[in-house]
Structure 1
Amino acid sequence: MRLQLSTWPEVEAYLERSTGIVVPIGSTEQHGPNGLIGTDALCPEAIAWALGERHDILIGPTLSLGMAQHHLAFPGTLSLRPSTLIALLRDTLDSLARHGFTRVLFLNGHGGNIATLKAAFAEVHATRSLAAAPATGAPQPALFNWFLGRRVRELAAELYGDAEGYHATASEVALSWYVAGVEKSATMTPRIAPLGSAECDAETFRRRFPDGRMGSDPSLARREHGARFLEAGVADAWEAWQGLIDEE
């Protein structure tokens, strides 16, 4: 069940049987020579949609812009400031709280969002804790990174070994190709990209990683692999969702 394709009476009826929602969040950034710029949003969105269809969970709109400033030296990347993303997340949670949602799982597709997501959650918790009359029934936010799920990691190791890497990985490229119904090719030199820190400005990042990859060889990706990553991602996300709901 997707929020964007629902009417308000349908959402009201959903809230009578469940007060949980999944919100996909990603980024719009370069993913190496053969990776789609929308990879980090396409992947968690596809997993979330499948999760919602199979388990009757409401899926919110995908937050497609993230904290990607270190990729801005590559054409096509769009980025929010950390403070902007924190404000967006707080307003999203406040909106959901207004309607009575009590559990919000952010299904994340971008490693660069993790620190900012956790900072946003800390801001939300601090606001409630410091209030003279703490709110009751406010939604508890939780984070699940699809690319760190146990099944996904095991499958990536099986298919790509050490060539999986850390950015523009073969696993995320394969899943995004599968979802989008495309496949792209490019020459990778060197075959496995160098490693290093992404905690830097955009120009420094491009000097360290000239073609945008970090320790990866996404030429190993195949669109048919994406179907397997989707199944693994849905199973991992369902496990995370059950853990969240069990806390109620």
Structure 2
Amino acid sequence: MLLALSTWQEIEAYLERSTAIIIPIGSTEQHGPNGLIGTDSICPTHIAAGMAEKEDMLVAPTISYGMSQHHMAFAGSATLSPSTLMAVVIDIVGSFRQHGFTHFYFLNGHGGNIAPVTSAFSEIYAGHGNDKTSPRCRLANWWRDSAIAALAKELYGNAEGYHATVSEVALSYHAHPEAVKHAEMEPAVAPTDEFYDAADFRRKFPDGRIGSSPQLATVADGERFYQLAVETLTKDFHAFVANS
């Protein structure tokens, strides 16, 4: 069930069955020579839709902008400051709480969101003190699921990488096969290194990849990641609701 395609009466009816909501969150940033700029939002959106098709779950509209300052030397990237992203998360949780939602499952596609989003959770909890009605929030990073990581290791070994990874590009291609891109990349496996700011990122990783070979991505592999992610994250969602 998609909130954006529902009426307020349907949401009231849903709240009689469940007070949990899935909120996909990603970013708008470069993903190398053949990765889509919307990859980090496309992936959690795609997985969340699959979860809602499988079971009675409510999915909010995706937060498609994240903390992506380190990608700002590449055209098309956009970023929120950490404090802005925190405020967005706090306000969204606060808005849905007014209607009776209690459990907020943020399905995340971007590593740069982890610090500000979990900090926002801390602010939310601090605002409730010892209040037993405090909301419950979880940040589920789909690519860090152990089964997903194991599949990526099996398929790509060290070529999976750290940014513009093969798995995320493959999953985005499964969501949008009409947008598959092809590009030559040299070296085949991108280098890895520490970086500081956007300019340093561009100097060290001029084509936008970190340690990855996204040219290996296929729609068929994306199907495998999709099916596995829907299965494992559905279980994680239920465990979150049941244990909090």
Q: TM-score, normalised by structure 1?
A: 0.95
- Structure 1: where are the runs of 5+ without partners? none
Give the secondary structure class of the aligned counterpart of 1:207.
helix
Q: 2:182 matched to 1:185?
A: yes
Q: 2:156 matched to 1:160?
A: yes
Deviation at 1:157, TM superposition (A): 1.0
Using the alignment, how far apart are the partners of 1:101 and 1:137 within structure 2? Answer: 11
Deviation at 1:208, TM superposition (A): 1.4
Using the alignment, how far apart are the partners of 2:5 and 2:52 within structure 1? Answer: 13
Q: Which amino acid aligns with 1:190?
A: P
Structure 1 equivalent of residue 31 of structure 2? 31
Give the secondary structure class of the aligned counterpart of 1:58.
coil
What does residue range 57-68 of structure 1 map to in structure 2 within 5 Å?
57-68=57-68
Q: Which amino acid aligns with 1:3?
A: L
| Length, aligned pairs only | 243
Structure 2 equivalent of residue 206 of structure 1? 202
Using the alignment, how far apart are the partners of 1:173 and 1:45 within structure 2? Answer: 14
Deviation at 1:99, TM superposition (A): 0.7
Whether contact under 8 Å (2:125, 2:134) holds in the other structure is no
Per-residue CA shift, 1:64-120, capped at 9, x if unaligned? 000001000000001000000000000000001101111110000001111111111
Using the alignment, how far apart are the partners of 2:55 and 2:48 within structure 1? Answer: 10
User: Which contiguous aligned blocks of 4+ residues in structure 1 show a shift greater than 3 angstroms?
Assistant: none
Whether contact under 8 Å (2:125, 2:135) holds in the other structure is no
Using the alignment, how far apart are the partners of 1:197 and 1:40 within structure 2? Answer: 21
Bigger mean CA deviation after superposition, 228-237 or 6-15 = 228-237
Structure 1 equivalent of residue 232 of structure 2? 236
Per-residue CA shift, 1:175-201, capped at 9, x if unaligned? 101101232111111111111224x21
Q: Which amino acid aligns with 1:143?
A: L
RMSD: 1.1
Whether contact under 8 Å (2:26, 2:113) holds in the other structure is yes
Using the alignment, how far apart are the partners of 1:236 and 1:146 within structure 2? Answer: 9
Q: Which amino acid aligns with 1:41?
A: S
Deviation at 1:135, TM superposition (A): 4.6
Whether contact under 8 Å (1:196, 1:208) holds in the other structure is yes
Bigger mean CA deviation after superposition, 137-146 or 91-100 = 137-146
Q: Which amino acid aligns with 2:209?
A: R
Structure 1 equivalent of residue 40 of structure 2? 40
Whether contact under 8 Å (1:30, 1:36) holds in the other structure is yes
Structure 2 equivalent of residue 13 of structure 1? 13
Q: Which amino acid aligns with 1:160?
A: Y
Q: TM-score, normalised by structure 2?
A: 0.97
Q: 2:102 matched to 1:105?
A: no
Q: Which amino acid aligns with 1:217?
A: S
Using the alignment, how far apart are the partners of 2:125 and 2:102 within structure 1? Answer: 14
Whether contact under 8 Å (1:163, 1:217) holds in the other structure is yes
Deviation at 1:155, TM superposition (A): 1.2
- Structure 2: where are the runs of 5+ without partners? none
What does residue range 79-158 of structure 1 map to in structure 2 within 5 Å?
79-129=79-129, 135-158=131-154
Using the alignment, how far apart are the partners of 1:206 and 1:239 within structure 2? Answer: 38
Q: Which amino acid aligns with 1:210?
A: P
Using the alignment, how far apart are the partners of 1:186 and 1:211 within structure 2? Answer: 11
Deviation at 1:139, TM superposition (A): 2.2
Using the alignment, how far apart are the partners of 2:141 and 2:232 within structure 1? Answer: 10
Per-residue CA shift, 1:116-150, capped at 9, x if unaligned? 11111111111111xxxx65534211110001112
Deviation at 1:245, TM superposition (A): 1.1
Deviation at 1:55, TM superposition (A): 1.1
**Identical residues among aligned pairs (%):** 51
Using the alignment, how far apart are the partners of 1:123 and 1:245 within structure 2? Answer: 21
